[in-house]
Amino acid sequence: MAAEAEQGFRPLDEASLVTYIKATPALASRLGGGGSVEIKEVGDGNLNFVYIVKSSSGAIVVKQALPYVRCVGDSWPMTRERAYFEASTLREHGRLSPEHTPEVYHFDRAMSLMGMRYIEPPHIILRKGLIAGVEYPLLADHMSNYMAKTLFFTSLLYNNTTDHKKGVAEYCANVEMCRLTEQVVFSDPYRVSKFNRWTSPYLDKDAEAVREDDELKLEIAELKSMFIERAQALIHGDLHTGSIMVTPNSTQVIDPEFGFYGPMGFDIGAFLGNLILAYYAQNGHADQTNDRKAYKKWILKTIEEMPAREQSASVLPSIVQRRS
């Protein structure tokens, strides 16, 4: 990291965040200038600190990256530059799919700090909605629209080689996050590793079967090569159901700090794979009042509708016009 970025960094707490916001017009103006604010730290995520800041006239979210992985502590160092790639990806995806991306109000690279739109209640994290058994009739529509636009318009299907390579070069610097994915998605689950966790002893045999399945490991190695080598589009990079906030009418994608030029299939597969996991988890959530059978059908229908809705089909004519 550049020395000057290191110099201006201070981890904020609730008190120093108030001072920071007051000195930052792009944030203060969203909260109506002066007045008192109420701050709540809500980082239920794994990596960063997330504050909801409310005043009588508005609300914002402030997110700061510290130089380590939050859920592990400073024994696992992690570059703060991830905040830069998160803000950049959010801005680029927001330009292409503003209806499904929170607006970035402010980014401070030295502080690894971003201010963005507060995605207000009743939005909840999609994973929580799936556990509660809530149906989201527009989810397939919204997510296929978001992915079609962000992936198509950042790929060579739309851009020229010069612009594409410029983007690829810039996001190559998000290498630490890519290396983390290579480790925790494509390597660790298939071998004995410190951070692996499963419900022991019940799943011991299943975990062992995965570790000993050479055919599976060869397939995974192929996918890992694609993840590393295929600079196809500016992908979100971590598109699980914990990175999506929803109501039945609205879908907002957050947290693209793993953003880089990679294979489109990594985003599409992460989202669909998480829906499949949610499908299989439903039996564990069934109780006497709700056997979850109808809900399982809704999950399968959502998976089926993803390619069928093929929003790219409806955006393509306008693209072709623009290019010709």
- Binding residues (CB under 5 A) for Mg ion: these are 45, 255
Question: Which of ligand ADP, Mg ion, none interacts with 118 (beta carbon under 5 to 8 A by kind)?
Answer: ligand ADP
Q: Tokens 């996001």 correspond to what residue? A: 171
Whichever of 61 and 231 has its CB closer to ligand ADP, that residue is 61
From 17, 28, 31, 47, residue interacting with ligand ADP (rule: CB under 6 A): 47
**Contact of 244 with 222, CB cutoff 8 Å:** no
Is residue 58 close enough to count as binding ligand ADP by CB under 6 A?
no
Residue 41: count of CB within 10 angstroms of its CB = 13
Residue 210: count of CB within 10 angstroms of its CB = 17
From 16, 19, 29, 46, residue interacting with ligand ADP (rule: CB under 6 A): 46
Sites for ligand ADP among residues 110-139 (CB under 6 A)? 116-119, 125
Is residue 29 close enough to count as binding ligand ADP by CB under 6 A?
no
Q: How far is the CB of 74 from ligand ADP (least distance, A)?
A: 15
**Contact of 82 with 135, CB cutoff 8 Å:** no
Question: Which of ligand ADP, Mg ion, none interacts with 125 (beta carbon under 5 to 8 A by kind)?
Answer: ligand ADP
**Amino acid symbol at 314:** S
For the record, the structure tokens of 193 come out as 């590793």
Whichever of 130 and 254 has its CB closer to ligand ADP, that residue is 254
Is residue 255 close enough to count as binding ligand ADP by CB under 6 A?
yes
Is residue 56 close enough to count as binding ligand ADP by CB under 6 A?
no
Question: Which of ligand ADP, Mg ion, none interacts with 145 (beta carbon under 5 to 8 A by kind)?
Answer: none
Is residue 61 close enough to count as binding ligand ADP by CB under 6 A?
yes
Q: How far apart are CA 39 and CA 225, in angstroms?
A: 43
Q: How far is the CB of 47 from Mg ion (least distance, A)?
A: 7
Is residue 42 close enough to count as binding ligand ADP by CB under 6 A?
yes
Q: How far apart are CA 246 and CA 128, in angstroms?
A: 10
Question: Which of ligand ADP, Mg ion, none interacts with 42 (beta carbon under 5 to 8 A by kind)?
Answer: ligand ADP
Q: How far is the CB of 59 from ligand ADP (least distance, A)?
A: 9
Closest CA to 227 of 214, 237, 241, 215: 237
Whichever of 44 and 214 has its CB closer to ligand ADP, that residue is 44
> 297: helix, coil or strand?
helix
Q: Give strand pairing partners of 58.
A: 55
Radius of gyration of the chain (CA): 21
Residue 171: count of CB within 10 angstroms of its CB = 24
Peptide bond into 11 cis (omega under 30): no
Q: How far is the CB of 16 from ligand ADP (least distance, A)?
A: 19
Q: Cβ-count burial of 162 within 10 angstroms (0-12 exposed, 13-18 middle, 19+ buried)?
A: exposed
DSSP code for 286: -
State in Å, rounded, how far the first CA of the chain is from the last one.
Answer: 42
Is residue 81 close enough to count as binding ligand ADP by CB under 6 A?
no
Question: Which of Mg ion, ligand ADP, none interacts with 133 (beta carbon under 5 to 8 A by kind)?
Answer: none
Cα 116 to chain centroid, rounded: 15
Residue nearest to ligand ADP (CB): 45
Q: How far is the CB of 85 from ligand ADP (least distance, A)?
A: 12
Interacting residues toward ligand ADP by CB under 6 A: 42-48, 50, 61, 102, 116-119, 125, 254-255, 257
